[in-house]
Amino acid sequence: MLIEVSVFVGILCWVISSIMIAAMFGAMFSPDKQKLTTRIIVSCLLLIPSIIIIPLSFAAFILLSIICTVLGLTIFGMKIALELLRDGIPEVDDDGNIIEPKVSSTAPWV
């Protein structure tokens, strides 16, 4: 049931975003209100390429994310990447020195 609903919502979002992109390009190529029939024709002609472009853009985003992750792990290494995830990205001044926050240490008996 959950898979069927997810597939239905995914297809619905795919169709809606394709129609919106086709309408946007149709309005872009004929912005005058007097050219309404031209806008409708251009939008209908661009609907098929829009239906094809939407899944390709999702696939390209996923591939780009994987490439950036692999490239980041290659440059920084696994240990440094895990330390950055655990501790957060440190603050750096203009000279490239790491600024460490001042921690006031007090004795437990004070």
What is the Cα–Cα distance from 21 to 84, expressed in whole angstroms? 39
Global confidence as pTM? 0.47
What percent of the chain stands above pLDDT 90?
A: 0
Nearest to 28 by CA among 12, 48, 15, 46: 46
5 Cβ neighbours under 8 A, 6+ residues apart = none
pLDDT in tens, 40-89: 888 888 888 888 888 888 788 888 899 988 888 888 787 887 887 787 77
